[in-house]
Copies of this chain bind each other. A is one copy, B any other.
Amino acid sequence: MPNPSAAMLVIGDEILSGRTKDTNTHHLACALTGVGIDLLEARVVLDEHDRIVEAVQALSARYDHVFTSGGIGPTHDDITADAVGAAFGAHVDLRDDARDLLAAHYASEGKEFNEARKRMARIPEGATLIDNPVSVAPGFILGNVHVMAGVPKVFHAMVATVLPLLSGGQPLLSQTLKVHIGEGDIAGPLGRLARANPDVSLGSYPFQNDGVYGSNLVARGVDANRVTVVVAQLAKELGVEPN
């Protein structure tokens, strides 16, 4: 049986103007090769509704899986959710669970959950959310299209979440431990626990907001119990409460 096929769609004027280098395609290419999915095409298009709709329709009809990066932030040119919804004829609106995630996040940071930030909770009907351990605003899966962030750190985290669902392996469960500790102090205990628990993968996704820094430590594994145990060990070693 041939490997499943895939395409990448990078969305963003800044890539085509040369202001930003796309590194997400290379990351995805390596990750897909690692799990036996063949990346057969990649495209970069502008932040224009019709271009995105056209590319999503062409690629989702042709390949088993499509991955997009970019255009899911709070600004007016972040139109990926609406365009992907339109490509599938799906209604797009504020979604309660996404809004609640974002509302809680901005409340915890003492920031206003304003109209611009609410845009990031606009999700097409019928989609499944993709967790964002770095900056909360979720991606989503609609049909065979995986809509992910353009920021490489977030894109990488989302790829790590969705790939196990596609490669025929068991679904991967994850738990996140948010800590306000520098990565230099986390690396030692994290590395030791990773070596001692090869069945649970451990990742660190640092963040910095207005001078408050820290990291979301994500444990992923197929056994929920084992994930919980490892997160508890990690919390203990770092001297923080499991959340």
Which of the four size classes fits the interface of chain A? 20 to 34
Q: Assess whether A181 is interfacial by the CB under 8 Å rule.
A: no
In the complex, A45 Cα to B58 Cα: how many Å?
14
Count of chain copies: 2
Most chain B Cβ neighbours within 10 Å, of A16, A26, A31, A41? A16
Residues of B within 8 A of A16 (CB): 29, 38-42
Interface SS of chain A: mixed
Residues of B within 8 A of A17 (CB): 29, 33, 39
List the 9 closest pairs (A to B, CB-CB), nearest first: A18-B29, A18-B30, A42-B44, A16-B39, A21-B26, A43-B43, A18-B33, A17-B33, A16-B29
29 example contacts (A-B, Cβ-Cβ < 8 A) are as follows A10-B42, A15-B29, A15-B42, A16-B29, A16-B38, A16-B39, A16-B41, A16-B42, A17-B33, A17-B39, A18-B26, A18-B30, A18-B31, A18-B32, A18-B33, A18-B39, A21-B26, A22-B25, A22-B26, A25-B44, A41-B43, A41-B44, A41-B45, A41-B46, A41-B51, A42-B43, A42-B44, A43-B43, A43-B44
